[in-house]
Chains A and B, each alone.
Chain A
Amino acid sequence: MNRTWQVLKPISPLAWMPLFLYTIKDSSQSAILVIFMSSLWPTLANTAFGVATIKRDYLNVAAILQLSWWRRLVTVILPAAAPAIVAGLRISIGSAWVAIVAPRMLIGGTGIGYFVWNEWNNLALTSVIFAILAIGLIGVLLDAVLGRLSRRLAYTE
Protein backbone atom coordinates (compact mmCIF):
# COMPACT_ATOMS: atom_id res chain seq x y z
CA MET A 1 0.00 0.00 0.00
CA ASN A 2 1.15 3.49 -0.81
CA ARG A 3 3.10 5.30 1.91
CA THR A 4 0.66 8.18 1.99
CA TRP A 5 -2.12 5.87 3.15
CA GLN A 6 0.18 4.01 5.54
CA VAL A 7 0.63 7.17 7.61
CA LEU A 8 -2.99 7.03 8.80
CA LYS A 9 -2.93 3.38 9.85
CA PRO A 10 -0.77 3.38 13.01
CA ILE A 11 -2.69 6.26 14.63
CA SER A 12 -4.54 5.05 17.69
CA PRO A 13 -8.27 5.53 17.04
CA LEU A 14 -8.53 7.19 20.44
CA ALA A 15 -6.16 9.94 19.31
CA TRP A 16 -8.90 11.19 16.97
CA MET A 17 -11.30 11.64 19.88
CA PRO A 18 -10.53 15.30 20.77
CA LEU A 19 -10.78 16.28 17.11
CA PHE A 20 -14.17 14.58 16.75
CA LEU A 21 -15.44 16.03 20.01
CA TYR A 22 -14.42 19.51 18.88
CA THR A 23 -15.89 19.27 15.40
CA ILE A 24 -19.17 17.41 15.97
CA LYS A 25 -19.68 18.34 19.63
CA ASP A 26 -21.59 15.15 20.36
CA SER A 27 -19.95 12.52 22.53
CA SER A 28 -21.94 9.52 21.36
CA GLN A 29 -21.38 10.29 17.68
CA SER A 30 -17.69 10.81 18.44
CA ALA A 31 -17.56 7.37 20.04
CA ILE A 32 -19.08 5.84 16.89
CA LEU A 33 -16.52 7.70 14.78
CA VAL A 34 -13.72 6.24 16.90
CA ILE A 35 -15.08 2.77 16.11
CA PHE A 36 -15.27 3.82 12.47
CA MET A 37 -11.61 4.89 12.44
CA SER A 38 -10.45 1.74 14.19
CA SER A 39 -12.21 -0.61 11.75
CA LEU A 40 -11.43 1.30 8.54
CA TRP A 41 -7.75 0.54 7.84
CA PRO A 42 -7.53 -3.25 8.11
CA THR A 43 -10.44 -3.71 5.69
CA LEU A 44 -9.09 -1.02 3.35
CA ALA A 45 -5.59 -2.52 3.21
CA ASN A 46 -6.85 -6.08 2.84
CA THR A 47 -9.36 -5.19 0.12
CA ALA A 48 -6.76 -3.25 -1.84
CA PHE A 49 -4.34 -6.18 -1.55
CA GLY A 50 -7.03 -8.71 -2.53
CA VAL A 51 -8.13 -6.68 -5.56
CA ALA A 52 -4.58 -5.96 -6.70
CA THR A 53 -3.65 -9.64 -6.58
CA ILE A 54 -6.67 -10.97 -8.53
CA LYS A 55 -5.49 -13.26 -11.33
CA ARG A 56 -5.12 -11.18 -14.49
CA ASP A 57 -6.91 -13.93 -16.44
CA TYR A 58 -10.16 -13.22 -14.62
CA LEU A 59 -10.03 -9.51 -15.48
CA ASN A 60 -9.03 -10.28 -19.07
CA VAL A 61 -11.98 -12.64 -19.50
CA ALA A 62 -14.29 -9.98 -18.07
CA ALA A 63 -12.85 -7.46 -20.54
CA ILE A 64 -13.30 -9.84 -23.48
CA LEU A 65 -16.92 -10.46 -22.47
CA GLN A 66 -17.36 -6.66 -22.41
CA LEU A 67 -19.06 -6.71 -19.02
CA SER A 68 -20.26 -3.39 -17.67
CA TRP A 69 -18.23 -2.01 -14.75
CA TRP A 70 -21.01 -2.93 -12.30
CA ARG A 71 -21.21 -6.54 -13.47
CA ARG A 72 -17.42 -6.75 -13.50
CA LEU A 73 -17.41 -5.57 -9.89
CA VAL A 74 -20.18 -7.87 -8.66
CA THR A 75 -19.43 -11.02 -10.63
CA VAL A 76 -15.62 -10.95 -10.90
CA ILE A 77 -13.79 -8.51 -8.62
CA LEU A 78 -15.70 -8.86 -5.35
CA PRO A 79 -16.01 -12.69 -5.38
CA ALA A 80 -12.34 -13.06 -6.34
CA ALA A 81 -11.22 -10.71 -3.57
CA ALA A 82 -13.79 -11.99 -1.05
CA PRO A 83 -11.40 -14.09 1.09
CA ALA A 84 -9.03 -11.13 1.52
CA ILE A 85 -11.93 -8.76 2.22
CA VAL A 86 -13.39 -11.02 4.91
CA ALA A 87 -9.94 -11.43 6.46
CA GLY A 88 -9.84 -7.62 6.70
CA LEU A 89 -13.36 -7.47 8.14
CA ARG A 90 -12.35 -10.02 10.77
CA ILE A 91 -9.32 -8.01 11.87
CA SER A 92 -11.47 -4.85 11.81
CA ILE A 93 -14.20 -6.15 14.09
CA GLY A 94 -11.54 -7.36 16.51
CA SER A 95 -9.76 -4.02 16.68
CA ALA A 96 -13.07 -2.16 16.86
CA TRP A 97 -14.15 -4.28 19.82
CA VAL A 98 -10.80 -3.56 21.47
CA ALA A 99 -11.30 0.16 20.86
CA ILE A 100 -14.85 0.23 22.19
CA VAL A 101 -13.98 0.21 25.88
CA ALA A 102 -11.79 3.29 26.04
CA PRO A 103 -14.03 6.07 24.58
CA ARG A 104 -16.78 5.29 27.06
CA MET A 105 -14.34 5.46 29.95
CA LEU A 106 -13.60 9.01 28.85
CA ILE A 107 -17.08 10.29 28.10
CA GLY A 108 -19.42 8.15 30.21
CA GLY A 109 -23.02 7.43 29.26
CA THR A 110 -23.97 3.83 28.61
CA GLY A 111 -21.67 1.13 27.33
CA ILE A 112 -19.37 -1.53 28.63
CA GLY A 113 -16.44 0.87 29.02
CA TYR A 114 -18.52 3.11 31.25
CA PHE A 115 -19.67 0.06 33.18
CA VAL A 116 -16.09 -1.06 33.86
CA TRP A 117 -15.03 2.41 34.97
CA ASN A 118 -18.12 2.90 37.12
CA GLU A 119 -17.60 -0.43 38.90
CA TRP A 120 -13.96 0.51 39.47
CA ASN A 121 -15.13 3.74 41.10
CA ASN A 122 -17.40 1.63 43.32
CA LEU A 123 -14.40 -0.61 44.08
CA ALA A 124 -16.53 -3.56 42.94
CA LEU A 125 -13.63 -5.60 41.59
CA THR A 126 -15.70 -8.74 41.05
CA SER A 127 -17.89 -6.79 38.62
CA VAL A 128 -14.81 -5.45 36.82
CA ILE A 129 -13.37 -8.96 36.40
CA PHE A 130 -16.76 -10.27 35.26
CA ALA A 131 -17.02 -7.47 32.70
CA ILE A 132 -13.50 -8.23 31.44
CA LEU A 133 -14.47 -11.88 30.94
CA ALA A 134 -17.71 -10.85 29.19
CA ILE A 135 -15.80 -8.54 26.81
CA GLY A 136 -13.41 -11.37 25.95
CA LEU A 137 -16.22 -13.83 25.37
CA ILE A 138 -18.11 -11.50 23.04
CA GLY A 139 -14.90 -10.80 21.12
CA VAL A 140 -14.44 -14.54 20.57
CA LEU A 141 -18.06 -14.87 19.39
CA LEU A 142 -17.72 -11.98 16.91
CA ASP A 143 -14.54 -13.54 15.54
CA ALA A 144 -16.18 -16.96 15.24
CA VAL A 145 -19.07 -15.54 13.18
CA LEU A 146 -16.68 -13.97 10.67
CA GLY A 147 -14.49 -17.08 10.70
CA ARG A 148 -17.51 -19.10 9.60
CA LEU A 149 -18.20 -16.55 6.84
CA SER A 150 -14.59 -16.73 5.64
CA ARG A 151 -14.76 -20.53 5.40
CA ARG A 152 -17.89 -20.20 3.29
CA LEU A 153 -16.32 -17.68 0.88
CA ALA A 154 -12.99 -19.48 0.46
CA TYR A 155 -12.24 -20.90 -2.97
CA THR A 156 -9.42 -22.77 -4.69
CA GLU A 157 -8.12 -21.76 -8.10
Chain B
Amino acid sequence: MKSFAIRRREATTMQRDRLRVIGFSALLGLAFLFLWQALTSVQPAAGVSGALAVGATAVQMLAHPVLRPRTERQGIGLQLAASLGRLGVGWVVASVVAIMGGVALGLSPTLYEP
Protein backbone atom coordinates (compact mmCIF):
# COMPACT_ATOMS: atom_id res chain seq x y z
CA MET B 1 0.00 0.00 0.00
CA LYS B 2 1.49 3.28 -1.08
CA SER B 3 1.46 6.10 1.38
CA PHE B 4 -0.68 9.13 0.74
CA ALA B 5 2.39 11.36 0.26
CA ILE B 6 3.91 9.10 -2.42
CA ARG B 7 0.66 8.84 -4.29
CA ARG B 8 0.23 12.58 -4.22
CA ARG B 9 3.76 13.07 -5.52
CA GLU B 10 3.05 10.63 -8.38
CA ALA B 11 -0.13 12.49 -9.23
CA THR B 12 1.64 15.85 -9.37
CA THR B 13 4.44 14.36 -11.52
CA MET B 14 1.86 13.02 -13.97
CA GLN B 15 0.15 16.37 -14.02
CA ARG B 16 3.43 18.14 -14.70
CA ASP B 17 4.25 15.73 -17.56
CA ARG B 18 0.83 16.34 -19.04
CA LEU B 19 1.25 20.10 -18.79
CA ARG B 20 4.66 19.79 -20.44
CA VAL B 21 3.18 17.78 -23.35
CA ILE B 22 0.38 20.31 -23.85
CA GLY B 23 2.84 23.20 -23.62
CA PHE B 24 5.20 21.71 -26.19
CA SER B 25 2.32 20.88 -28.56
CA ALA B 26 1.02 24.44 -28.35
CA LEU B 27 4.52 25.83 -28.90
CA LEU B 28 5.10 23.62 -31.96
CA GLY B 29 1.69 24.55 -33.36
CA LEU B 30 2.36 28.25 -32.92
CA ALA B 31 5.82 27.91 -34.49
CA PHE B 32 4.28 26.09 -37.47
CA LEU B 33 1.61 28.77 -37.94
CA PHE B 34 4.19 31.55 -37.65
CA LEU B 35 6.54 29.88 -40.16
CA TRP B 36 3.66 29.24 -42.55
CA GLN B 37 2.52 32.87 -42.45
CA ALA B 38 6.11 34.18 -42.70
CA LEU B 39 7.01 31.99 -45.69
CA THR B 40 3.83 32.79 -47.60
CA SER B 41 4.18 36.53 -47.05
CA VAL B 42 7.84 36.48 -48.13
CA GLN B 43 7.02 34.48 -51.28
CA PRO B 44 3.43 35.37 -52.25
CA ALA B 45 4.08 34.58 -55.91
CA ALA B 46 4.08 30.84 -55.11
CA GLY B 47 0.32 31.19 -54.70
CA VAL B 48 -0.15 29.24 -51.47
CA SER B 49 -2.43 31.06 -49.04
CA GLY B 50 -1.11 32.17 -45.69
CA ALA B 51 -2.27 31.10 -42.26
CA LEU B 52 -4.22 34.32 -41.65
CA ALA B 53 -6.15 34.03 -44.92
CA VAL B 54 -7.02 30.40 -44.19
CA GLY B 55 -8.06 31.43 -40.68
CA ALA B 56 -10.41 34.07 -42.08
CA THR B 57 -11.93 31.47 -44.43
CA ALA B 58 -12.28 29.04 -41.54
CA VAL B 59 -14.18 31.58 -39.45
CA GLN B 60 -16.46 32.36 -42.38
CA MET B 61 -17.04 28.68 -43.23
CA LEU B 62 -17.73 27.68 -39.65
CA ALA B 63 -20.16 30.58 -39.28
CA HIS B 64 -22.29 29.13 -42.12
CA PRO B 65 -21.94 25.35 -41.85
CA VAL B 66 -25.17 24.45 -43.65
CA LEU B 67 -25.63 26.90 -46.51
CA ARG B 68 -23.00 29.29 -47.75
CA PRO B 69 -24.20 32.87 -48.23
CA ARG B 70 -24.61 34.28 -51.75
CA THR B 71 -23.40 31.11 -53.50
CA GLU B 72 -26.33 28.95 -52.25
CA ARG B 73 -23.90 26.04 -52.07
CA GLN B 74 -23.85 23.51 -49.24
CA GLY B 75 -21.60 24.45 -46.35
CA ILE B 76 -18.68 22.54 -44.87
CA GLY B 77 -20.76 21.09 -42.02
CA LEU B 78 -23.24 19.46 -44.39
CA GLN B 79 -20.46 18.09 -46.61
CA LEU B 80 -18.58 16.66 -43.63
CA ALA B 81 -21.80 15.18 -42.25
CA ALA B 82 -22.47 13.49 -45.61
CA SER B 83 -18.98 12.00 -45.64
CA LEU B 84 -19.20 10.90 -42.00
CA GLY B 85 -22.58 9.27 -42.66
CA ARG B 86 -21.17 7.26 -45.54
CA LEU B 87 -18.12 6.38 -43.43
CA GLY B 88 -20.42 5.17 -40.64
CA VAL B 89 -22.52 2.92 -42.88
CA GLY B 90 -19.58 1.43 -44.78
CA TRP B 91 -17.40 0.96 -41.72
CA VAL B 92 -20.07 -0.60 -39.49
CA VAL B 93 -21.20 -3.08 -42.14
CA ALA B 94 -17.59 -3.93 -43.04
CA SER B 95 -16.68 -4.37 -39.36
CA VAL B 96 -19.56 -6.78 -38.71
CA VAL B 97 -18.64 -8.84 -41.78
CA ALA B 98 -14.92 -8.70 -40.95
CA ILE B 99 -15.37 -9.76 -37.32
CA MET B 100 -17.59 -12.70 -38.29
CA GLY B 101 -15.20 -13.74 -41.04
CA GLY B 102 -12.17 -13.19 -38.83
CA VAL B 103 -13.57 -15.41 -36.06
CA ALA B 104 -14.31 -18.14 -38.61
CA LEU B 105 -10.83 -17.82 -40.10
CA GLY B 106 -9.07 -17.69 -36.74
CA LEU B 107 -10.82 -20.79 -35.44
CA SER B 108 -10.08 -22.83 -38.54
CA PRO B 109 -6.55 -24.25 -38.75
CA THR B 110 -6.90 -25.00 -42.47
CA LEU B 111 -7.92 -21.48 -43.51
CA TYR B 112 -5.57 -19.67 -41.16
CA GLU B 113 -1.87 -20.41 -41.28
CA PRO B 114 0.13 -17.99 -39.18
Contact = CB atoms under 8 A, between A and B. Distances in A.
B103 A112 contact: no
B92 to A, nearest CB: 9
Given A92-B95, A110-B79, A39 B90 contact: yes
Which interface class (under 10, 10 to 19, 20 to 34, 35 or more) fits A?
Answer: 35 or more
Interface residues of B, number: 39
B99 interface: yes
Which applies to chain A's interface (DSSP): helix, strand, loop or mixed? helix
Interface in B40-69: 47-49, 53-54, 56-58, 61
B90 A36 contact: yes
B102 A51 contact: yes
A94 B46 CA distance: 32
A112 B79 contact: yes
A33 to B, nearest CB: 7
Given A5-B105, A48-B105, A114-B79, A126 B99 contact: no
A127 to B, nearest CB: 6
Interface string B73-114: 110101110111011011101110111011101110001111
The 6 closest A-B pairs by CB, nearest first: A47-B102, A51-B106, A35-B90, A43-B98, A126-B57, A48-B105
Interface of B: 47-49, 53-54, 56-58, 61, 73-74, 76, 78-80, 82-84, 86-87, 89-91, 93-95, 97-99, 101-103, 105-107, 111-114
